[in-house]
Every structure is written in C-alpha cells, then in structure tokens.
Structure 1
Amino acid sequence: MNRTLNFNAAKKDRTITGKITSISSPSNVQLQHLYRGDFSIRVFVSNIRSLLSHMDSVCTYLSLNKSIVLCLAETRLDSTIVNNDLAVPHYHTPIRKDRNRRGGGCAVYVRSDYYVKRLVDFQNTTFEILVLRLTLPNKLSVIIINVYRPKSTSIKRLNERIKTVLDEIKKSKYKKDRIHLVGDFNAHHRLWSNNNVKSTKAGEIFYDFLEEENLYQLVRVVTRDVSGTCLDLIIVESSSFIIDIAVRPSVDRSDHNFTEFKIQILSLKEKTERTVYDYNAVNWEKVNERFSEIPIHQLLKNYNNLNERVTAFEQILLEHIQYYVPNKKICIEPRNKVWFNDKLRILYKKKWKLYRKCKNSSYHFQLYAKAAEEFKAACTITKEDYYKRINLKVCASSANW
C-alpha cells in the first residue's frame, strides 16, 4: 500500500496517480532562477492514538525512513510520562503539547543534526497547537505548525486561532520563513478524499476558511481507511517547494495512515556588487597630469617577472581611476534584469502600493489594473529597446570594435 498524489497549483484540479511524483507548478519554474543548490527534508504526519504504546513502531519507522521531522497527533500523554520513556536514537527529545492519557495532545520529533526552536509566543493553552522553527543547513528556516483538533473544539474557533497565529508570525521577525501547517483537523471534505464520502460540516467550514485565506491543502487521498475520509492534512501558503506527497500504511492499532511530504530547500543566489564609473564627469587633463607624476618606472623596478609588473601596473592604474573618477557601488539582486531601469522601478512601486489598497476598494482596484497594464507595457517596450541597442552594436562595422 503506497498511495501517492500528483497535483498542480490549482486548488480544485488535482488528480491521484499510483506513483510518487513531484509538483510541477508554474510558480516553481518561475522561481528556479533565483536559487542554486537544492536538497529536501522529509516530514511525516500521523495521528498515532497513544505515543507510549506505539514507541517501538515509531522507533522502527524513523529508523527505516530517516525522516527529518515527525509530527504526531493524539499522543495521549501527561506529566507522568517523562521524555526518557519517549526517546528515539538520533532524534531530539520530543517537543510536546500534552492533554491527558485518555486523548488529545500532539508531539514533534526532529532529527538531532537539525536545530529546532519552539516558538511558545504563538501558542495558546486552549488549543493543541505546536509551533516550531527548524533551521536548515543552508541557514534558511521553515516554520512547522502541528495541530490536533478534537471534535469537542469548534472548527470556527480553530480557524480564528490559526488566522491569529499566521498573522502574528507575519508581523514577527520570522515573517520571511515558509509556513507549513500539518496535523489531524478532524475535518473532511469530499474534494480532498477523491471519493464519494460526503463532506462533514467541519470540513465544509474549514475548506471555505482555507479558500478565504488563500491557503493550499495538498493531500488528495484518504488518510483514514475505516471512514474513507481525509483528516490528516498538509496546508501551505505556496505549493512551489512541496514535492513527493504520499500516504503510507499506519502503525499497529492506529487507524490513521502516515502522510509524508518533502520540503524542497533551495539556497538563494548571493547578491553581487558592481562598481559603476561616471566617465563623463571627469577632468581628464587633470587625471593625466596626476598620473604622469606617478614614478611608474621606479615602482616597477621592484618586480623582476613580467607578469608581476603587469599586475602591479594594473593595480596602480585602477587605484588612480578609483580616486579621480566618480563612482558608486550598486547591488545586483538575483532577480534583476539587465534592461530593468529606474523608470520601471518607479512604475513597479506605484503598482505595488495600489495592489495593497485594491482589496478593500473598487476605485483602487481600477487604479491598480491601470497601473499594472502601464507597467507591463513599459516593461515590454524597455526590453525591446534594450535588445535593439545590443543588436545594433553587435551588427556594427568591425571598425568600431
């Protein structure tokens, strides 16, 4: 049993296949040029229905699958269970949110070669939610929110809490981290299970909430066989970096399957600096006069090798130019285009300001649409003009080279 799903970026148009496939969304392709050197981390999610009674199975599962993160729901733990009883070799002690031995609770295991921090500021004693920040080898970080919603907790109250947590994260110093919301939400929607089992009331409410918040629920297969429902979910703000989603067999007496996915981690290309010289603002007579005063021949006598003399002369000349020619350093972002000029930057900022206002005003939406068209047209014209100039130079007579 190894059911896997393949989906595109559209929320309502995903199909199930019989093998592991990776996401191929337009947004993924568009972002690739900003990054270099990729790797992925494996994350497993399941309702374990008592962690203590399934410890042997959990240890075996982690040993075989080598996952980086294991998120568990309904751990059924309390303060009488110490962490030593839950230890797994090569993993940090579990990060826990306990309720009692009869039900509820959640926990997360993280492999010991990864640094993890519990973000308690975003947690609430009323809800069974764990918020963690995982630091990756490339120094980037991701946030994983593990959730268990018992049926006694209103789905509307949970929605409000999730929205609060997401809003608080976006206002914090972690606002640039990618967020992954996982767990057992006890909310089933027919579109998620890809079968004829009717949506639950909680599932319909939660589905609408995700639509409103522009969040993607990626699991599209049954995760609890006995009811034919999809309860163990993976929710993200963007599917661009999520690959290889699979639903695997449950352990022992648990009636929930394991849900697995990989977070593809790509390192941002570094910014580069370039020095730009303004040769039109130079008094060349003064530059030549000062340069002639430098005892070049005397300085080069210190070098016997011709290559060393050339290198020394280049250094003297560049230092002279650096001193007398006005210049400035500019930072080149990975996404910068050679034809993107200051005029386009002004138009882009104007469009972005209107975009932030257009959601609440039809008047600003019209202004935004107009600004977007203006920006798009200006980009097309500027790009064409740039390449025309390059083409003219390349095709010019060799006498000008």
Structure 2
Amino acid sequence: MARLKCIYTNARSMGNKQEELEAIVHQAGYDLVAITETWWDHSHDWSAAMPGYRLFRRDRQHRRGGGVALYIRECFYVEELEAGTDKVESLWVRISRKANKASILVGVCYRPPNQDEETDEEFYRQLAEVAKSSALVLAGDLNFPDISWKHNTAQRKQSRRFLESVEDNFLTQLVREPTRGGAPLDLLFTNSDGLVGDVVVESCLGQSDHEMVQFSILGEVRKGTSKTAVLDFQRADFEMFRTLVGRVPWEVILKGRGVQEGWTLFKKEILMAQEQSVPTCPKTSQHGRRLAWLNRELWFELRRKKRVYNL
C-alpha cells in the first residue's frame, strides 16, 4: 500500500469549520483525516459528508460534546471494527488498497478530562486487543497534560496507569511538540518502527485551541535507521552526574513533603542531572529499550510474575 498523507485535529466542535476543513483537505491532498470532539449528532448527517471521502463517525450518546470521526479517500478498501462499548469514544478501521490484502489498523480516540477509572480500563482492554495488529496507528486527545513523554513520567495516578498500558502494548508516542497550552495533548501512537513518519505540528482549525498534527503512514515498515533516541551510558559523565546530584539541597527541597510529592521532586532532579550528564544515541536492536528476544508473550509473563511476587 502506498504512503498515506494524514492529518489529525481536535476540532472543539466542527460547527462552522466544515468548509475550512474541506478546503485544507483538498488543497493538501490528504488521504486520511482524523477528528476528535466533532460535537456531531444526527442533525449533522447532511452536512458532514465530504466529496471523494468515506466518513466513519462515532457520536457521543445522550449528552453534548465529544465524538470522533475519520474521513478516508474512497479509493481505499476500509473495514470498520466493532468498538465493543459505547463508554469509550473511539473508532477503529482497517485500511488497505484491496480486500484481503495487507492492511493497517487506524484508530482515533477522545478521552474527556473527567473520565473515570472504570472507563479508562475499558479503553485499555480495547487497546490491548487492537495492539495485536502488526501495523497500528492511533491518533487522539487523551487529556493527560501531566505526562512528560521525554522522560515517560507522570504525576497523576490515571496518567501513570496510561503510561503502563502504552508500555504493555509496545506503543511509541511520536508527538513531541505542544499542541495546546504548552502540553502535547494531541497524541500519535504506533506499534511498528518506521510505519509513521513526517510528523509535524501545524496551525489550528478555525477557532480551535488545539494545533493540528500532520503525518504520513507508510505503505510498509521501513528497516532504516531508527530516529528514536536512547540514553548512551557508555559515554556518560558519571562524575558530572554525582556533582549535579550533590549540589541539590535535598533537606530543603524534601522538608515537609509527602511521600508522593517528595518522590516526584526527587525524580525531577535526578532526570535533570541525567539530561546534562548522559548523552543520547539512536536506538538500535542491541541498545534499544527492549532486547530483541523480549517478545509480547514473554513480556506479559514477566509482568504477571512480578505482580505475583509483589503481593
């Protein structure tokens, strides 16, 4: 399958943005458009269509706001997957050039800021199922502004649980620039190195306060050099690290802090020292985050045993 030119946006209500979106899509020649917070209902059935594209949508039920949608060029063969639950605002489709050919699983998801933990867990179960695909791309606004994607850390319990799910499902998050209010809220995930590229944060759609994310889905996974950076401890300056950590007035910083707050501050200082004293290098199969032999089944078994031993 050839390269797909794609764009994702949190519309914060499509409203009168439809014409602007169509102009952007046709001018740039996008093959796929993912949208969150459409704010559509049945009254928009006549106005949501876009010439030359098939529309897949999941509107929020019984209350205002939310909703997700995908526009996909009519030349592609597309199969929509059953979501399994109406609690999670998500949409999943398989895209290929022809039926029964190699396909890519594409999803779009919106998670409201006040979503409860039970619904989060429904989404993680859904994510674990779709992550079994060999080629997965997920775009969406998950509303975890406290996550540091550079350090893979988070302050809130629900955010840390989300990071755990990302790790469990071997997903990589590709948006590094802020998309709203200084935080990368609009995210892009894949489970295959080289499947997604050309990620660029663009301007906003209409009066939305979220910036759009442009990216490409490749027809096949490239085997070129990974651009993912990992820590290169072989070239680390441990003397500098000890000096930087030793300069921190720990008693002053940690005085009167609770366990969680103290741990967050401690980790922040350690990561800052690490950033200055440990260089990075491109990820390779030998020095990557996981060893080549550590497949999904073995990873799950190790995690299961770890939980048992910690009881």
| TM-score normalized with structure 1 length | 0.51
Counterpart code for 2:197: I
Give the helix-richer structure, 1 or 2: 1
Q: Percent identity?
A: 26
Per the alignment, residue 90 of structure 1 pairs with: 52
SS of alignment partner, residue 63 of structure 1: helix
Q: State the shift of 1:80 in Å.
A: 2.3
Query: In 1, Cα distance between the equivalents of 2:204 and 2:212?
Result: 6
Counterpart code for 1:91: Y
Q: Is the 8 A contact 1:116 1:133 kept in 2?
A: yes
Q: State the shift of 1:118 in Å.
A: 1.3
- The yes-or-no answer on 1:178 pairing with 2:141 is no
- The yes-or-no answer on 1:260 pairing with 2:214 is yes
Larger radius of gyration: 1
Match 1:217 to one of 166, 169, 173: 173
Per the alignment, residue 112 of structure 2 pairs with: 150
Deviations 1:263-296 (A, max 9, x none): 111399xxxxxxxxxxxxxxxxxxxxxxxxxxxx
Alignment RMSD (CA, Å): 3.3
Match 2:41 to one of 78, 81, 102: 78
Match 1:238 to one of 182, 185, 192: 192
Query: In 2, Cα distance between the equivalents of 1:105 and 1:262?
Result: 23
Q: State the shift of 1:169 in Å.
A: 3.9
Query: In 1, Cα distance between the equivalents of 2:74 and 2:300?
Result: 44
Per the alignment, residue 309 of structure 1 pairs with: none
Distance 1:100 1:247, change over 3 A: farther
Distance 1:251 1:56, change over 3 A: same
Q: Is the 8 A contact 1:98 1:105 kept in 2?
A: yes
Distance 1:70 1:219, change over 3 A: same
Query: In 2, Cα distance between the equivalents of 1:205 and 1:355?
Result: 19
Query: In 2, Cα distance between the equivalents of 1:361 and 1:101?
Result: 42
Q: State the shift of 1:93 in Å.
A: 3.2
Aligned length: 232
Runs of 4+ in 1 over 6 A off after TM superposition: 351-355
Q: State the shift of 1:211 in Å.
A: 2.6
Match 2:102 to one of 126, 140, 158: 140
Query: In 2, Cα distance between the equivalents of 1:164 and 1:354?
Result: 19
Q: Is the 8 A contact 1:96 1:108 kept in 2?
A: no
Deviations 1:66-101 (A, max 9, x none): 11111111111112221x211212111343333467
Q: Is the 8 A contact 2:105 2:133 kept in 1?
A: no
Q: Is the 8 A contact 2:134 2:191 kept in 1?
A: no
Match 2:79 to one of 97, 109, 117: 117
Q: State the shift of 1:223 in Å.
A: 0.7
Distance 1:205 1:360, change over 3 A: closer
Deviations 1:193-219 (A, max 9, x none): 89xxx9666544423432343321111
Distance 1:252 1:357, change over 3 A: closer
For structure 2, the 5+ residue unaligned runs are 223-291, 306-311
Q: State the shift of 1:47 in Å.
A: 0.6
